[in-house]
């Protein structure tokens, strides 16, 4: 089965055919870092990381651009409230976003352009729009004339122009030809960042930034543009309008991930239900959080509850438990060169991660049965398949990212100490001194080490909360 993706632009699932065979250009709207990332931001990061991994696993060379909107009304407002420079707010929060993505195993983008570094490209785009009659200057601002694009404006969001509200994106609304015209460039105001342009000093509008950055790195036409469903209008609608009005074909497929609520409510500071990464780390390990965020279909609305996270923790630990036990019996080996057909079919069906996980867990069950039967050849095959599938999802327990041994300098020391204790325990059991054997096991448990007796001998792991 070929890869098929739901395209918001056509409101249909379409077979994915890249502009250039074997290569994919993908742009995803990244952070506007006016605050630390919440669980919704992290879900988006994981979703597009899974897509990136699947495209690469399918043989594509992917150029992945994820921008940073580091100058914006919200950032300027937060900076003013705190009495700090606007760039300090943007930079500090962006570092936290990067740490969050890294912690959850998201691969770095090929390029992570910042809006403030691409003002020259924005000026060129504005000039093209003015020359083509799609933009105009007024009261120090530059606006996109939506009526000049009336035959197409609203196609992505499936709206009609006459039903749209005024944008309300500048204080100079009365200067607009039409209240629905949106700002490409905002005139300078005291205390705000500004750049010099032919139309006066000022700063870029939000929508303009992404069009300029996407086309700079991916070309005037590229394959995939992604983001949250909340960006369809006005952000992505305006990106399409200004880009195509300027003469660029722009994105060929539009992907949008569903939002995330908390106990059935939209996250809000006023409600006090914003869930941040540190909140989750007290309840689950990073790999388990990633499993949770990746487990629902990317287009679905996801409702966070502690119970749902706990279920994901258990599910990931079933995978991890099999991989750990199997690798102790047959060695870690390497992931299979190809994933099972059922897994591939699920991923090719609009990135069907829930169905793909069902195949993964079925393989884990079969692998556990092979372990119980002592069939090492079958164990080896199931282990390779599980690692291949988990790897595509960024969840291979033996990967450097998630391995208990990865980067832990104390592990060899702990290994040696536990090995001595287990030898003493085995000697006690051999002489039927079960009281001493139990005492050794209880002592290890008190130290946070869980011992499991298997047909192949005792094994241990760190206790999980």
Q: 59 with 112, same domain?
A: yes
In a domain, 217, yes or no: yes
Q: 232 with 125, same domain?
A: yes
Whose structure tokens read 């069950």?
365
CA distance 456 to 435: 22
In a domain, 267, yes or no: no
Q: 421 with 292, same domain?
A: no
Query: Which residue range is the domain that position 183 belongs to?
Result: 4-257
Q: 301 with 363, same domain?
A: yes
Q: 308 with 435, same domain?
A: no
CA distance 420 to 415: 9
Q: 441 with 306, same domain?
A: no
Tell me the CA end-to-end span of the chain in Å, nearest whole number: 42
Per-residue pLDDT of the chain (465 residues; tens, 9 = 90+): 899 999 999 999 999 999 999 999 999 999 999 999 999 999 999 999 999 999 999 999 999 999 999 999 999 999 999 999 999 999 999 999 999 999 999 999 999 999 999 999 999 999 999 999 999 999 899 999 999 999 999 999 999 988 888 888 888 888 999 999 999 999 999 989 999 999 999 999 999 999 999 999 999 999 999 999 999 999 999 999 999 999 999 999 999 999 999 989 988 777 788 898 888 988 999 999 999 999 999 999 999 999 999 999 999 999 999 999 999 999 999 999 999 999 999 999 999 999 999 999 999 999 999 999 999 999 999 999 999 999 999 999 999 988 743 444 445 545 655 665 677 677 778 778 788 778 777 767 765 678 777 776 777 776 665
The pTM for the full model equals 0.87
In a domain, 402, yes or no: no
Q: 191 with 296, same domain?
A: no
Q: 336 with 431, same domain?
A: no
In a domain, 458, yes or no: yes
CA distance 213 to 231: 17
In a domain, 9, yes or no: yes
224, 257, 290 — which closes off a domain? Answer: 257
Domain count, the chain: 3
């Amino acid at each position: 089965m070929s890869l098929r993706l739901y395209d918001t632009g056509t409101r249909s699932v379409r077979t994915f055919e890249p502009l250039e065979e074997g290569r994919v250009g993908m742009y995803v709207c990244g952070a506007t870092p006016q605050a630390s990332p919440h669980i919704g931001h992290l879900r988006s990061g994981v979703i597009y990381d899974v897509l990136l991994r699947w495209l690469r696993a399918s043989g594509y060379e992917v150029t992945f651009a994820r921008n940073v909107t580091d100058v914006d009304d919200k950032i300027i407002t937060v900076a003013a409230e705190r009495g700090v420079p606007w760039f300090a707010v943007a930079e500090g929060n962006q570092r936290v976003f990067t740490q969050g993505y890294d912690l959850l195993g998201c691969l770095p983008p090929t390029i992570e352009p910042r809006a403030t570094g691409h003002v020259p490209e924005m000026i060129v785009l504005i000039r093209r729009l003015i020359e083509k009659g799609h933009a105009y200057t007024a009261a120090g601002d530059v606006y996109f004339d939506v009526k000049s694009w009336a035959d197409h404006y609203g196609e992505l969001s499936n709206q009609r122009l006459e039903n749209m509200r005024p944008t309300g994106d500048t204080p100079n609304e009365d200067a607009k030809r039409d209240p629905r015209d949106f700002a490409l460039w905002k005139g300078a105001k005291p205390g705000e960042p500004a750049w010099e342009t032919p139309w006066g000093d000022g700063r870029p509008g939000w929508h303009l930034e992404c069009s300029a950055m996407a086309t700079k790195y991916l070309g005037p036409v590229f394959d995939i543009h992604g983001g949250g469903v909340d960006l369809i209008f006005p952000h992505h609608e305006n990106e399409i309008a200004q880009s195509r009005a300027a003469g660029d074909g722009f994105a060929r497929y539009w992907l949008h991930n569903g939002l995330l609520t908390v106990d059935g409510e939209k996250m809000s500071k006023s409600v006090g239900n914003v869930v941040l990464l540190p909140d989750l780390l007290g309840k689950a390990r990073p790999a388990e959080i990633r499993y949770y965020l990746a487990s629902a279909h990317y287009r679905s609305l996801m409702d966070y509850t502690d119970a749902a996270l706990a279920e994901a923790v258990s599910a990931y630990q079933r995978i991890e438990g099999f991989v750990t036990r199997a690798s102790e019996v047959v060695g870690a080996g390497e992931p299979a060169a190809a994933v099972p057909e059922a897994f591939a079919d699920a991923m090719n069906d609009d990135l069907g991660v829930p169905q793909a996980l069902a195949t993964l867990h079925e393989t884990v069950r079969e692998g556990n049965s092979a372990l119980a039967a002592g069939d090492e050849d079958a164990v080896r095959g199931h282990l390779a398949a599980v690692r291949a599938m988990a790897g595509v999802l960024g969840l291979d327990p033996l990967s450097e990212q998630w391995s208990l041994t990865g980067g832990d300098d104390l592990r060899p020391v702990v290994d040696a100490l536990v090995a001595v204790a287990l030898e003493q325990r085995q000697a006690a059991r051999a002489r039927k001194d079960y009281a001493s054997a139990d005492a050794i096991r209880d002592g290890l448990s008190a130290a946070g080490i869980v011992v499991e007796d298997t047909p192949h001998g005792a094994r241990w792991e760190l206790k999980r909360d």
